[in-house]
Amino acid sequence: MEEDMSREYESMEIEKWVNLEDIADHLSVSSDTVRNWIKSGKIPFYRAGKRYKFRISEVDEWLKSGKMYDENEG
């Protein structure tokens, strides 16, 4: 049983957290744009003290879901 858990753990991909500048680069937008999305609650993010942290997989899923803009913005 312990061996199964060890194999399962080894096969898991551990996703790195990225910072605001990294996610802006990933999305090809400015850091200010990402900050605006954070303030308006549009982009999935986490706080680590005063810093913002992101998971690229969550941000990519957010993009694919089309939730980049509010429905009221047109």
Q: Are 25 and 17 in contact (CB under 8 A)?
A: no
Q: Which phi and psi (to 5°) does residue 48 adopt?
A: -125, 90
The pLDDT of residue 73 is: 46
Domain segments of the chain: what residues? 14-68
pLDDT, tens only, 6-64: 666 665 668 889 999 999 999 999 999 999 999 999 999 999 999 999 999 999 999 99
The CATH code that applies to domain 14-68 is 1.10.10.10
Query: 71 or 11: which carries more pLDDT confidence?
Result: 11
Q: Are 16 and 5 in contact (CB under 8 A)?
A: no
The pLDDT of residue 45 is: 97
The pLDDT of residue 59 is: 96
pTM: 0.71
